């Protein structure tokens, strides 16, 4: 089974970290953390990977001109 990897333009990893972070959240000085909410722990890679539905992300839709 091959999972389709989603490449969100705002997602990044810190150094060799396993978590997916969000540049938009990271810019917010009031944010307590900047983890992407659309990620799951992958038992194959041992890292956090994007889920299949990150296009539902409200932050991402706003940045791309959606509602």
pLDDT digits (tens, 9 = 90+) for 6-61: 678 888 888 888 888 999 999 999 999 999 888 888 888 888 887 777 667 888 77
The SS3 assignment for 6 reads coil
What is the rounded distance in angstroms from the CA atom of residue 50 to the CA atom of residue 34? 14
Residues in a beta bridge with 21: 12, 35
Q: Where are the beta strands (DSSP E) in the chain?
A: 11-12, 21-22, 39-41, 48-50
**Structure tokens that stand for 10 in this block:** 């705002």
């Amino acid at each position: 089974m091959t999972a389709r990897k989603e490449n969100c333009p705002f997602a990044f990893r810190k150094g060799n970290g396993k978590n997916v972070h969000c540049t938009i959240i990271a810019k917010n000085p009031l944010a307590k953390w900047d983890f992407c909410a659309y990620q799951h722990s992958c038992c194959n890679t041992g890292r956090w990977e994007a889920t299949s539905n990150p296009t539902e992300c409200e932050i991402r839709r706003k940045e791309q001109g959606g509602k």
